[in-house]
Structure 1
C-alpha cells in the first residue's frame, strides 16, 4: 500500500473533470467549481470573499433553472468522486478506513445538496 498517497486532491480532480464534460452556464460552473475546490481548501481568502459577496448580492438573480443546474452538476461531480474512490478501493492503493472517511464526506455533501431546505443552493 502507498502510505503517503493523498486521494482527496485526485478525487476532487475527478469531480472537476466530470464538471468540464457538462454543458453549464459560466456562472453556474464557477459556483460548482468553487464548491469542489473547497473540498481540498484550494480557495483563497480573496476568492471566498468574492464568492460570498457575489452570492449575497446576486442571490435573487440566480434563476430556478440555474439552481437546478447547480445541483445537477454537484451531483454529477460527487458521483464521479465516489467512482474514483471505489476504483482506489478495488486496487487497494489506499487504506480502507481512509477511503470510507472520504466516501462519507462525499455522501454528506450530497445530502446537503439534496436537502430541499438548503437555501445556499
Structure 2
C-alpha cells in the first residue's frame, strides 16, 4: 500500500506553513496570535510534532493570504519533493509573476528561459 503515514502528512503541512509564513515575511510570534496559539505551538505545527486542526488551517490560510490547497501542496500523488524543492525566492517570484500584465509575461518567460539555458551550458 503506497499511502503516506499521518506523520508524513503532518510534516509536509508543517513545512508548507513555515514556507508560506516566510514568504509572507512573518515571524512565528506575528502569526501565532492571529490563529490563537502560542509561538511554541506554532513551532510544533511547523515541525510536524503536533497536528493542525481544520479550523486552525483555515485561520492560517487567511492570515497568510493563501488558499487552503497551498497548505497541502506535496501531500497528494507522491509529490512531496515538489513542496520543498522551491526556494523562497522562486516562490516569491511566482507570486509577483501573477501581478505582471499578461502582455509582459511571455517576454519575461522568454528572458528566464534564455538565462536558465545559458547557465546550464
**TM-score, with normalisation over the residues of structure 2?**
0.33
Which has more radius of gyration?
A: 2
- The structure that is helix-richer by fraction is 1
Greater relative contact order (Cα 8 A, min sep 6): structure 1 or 2?
1
**TM-score, with normalisation over the residues of structure 1?**
0.33
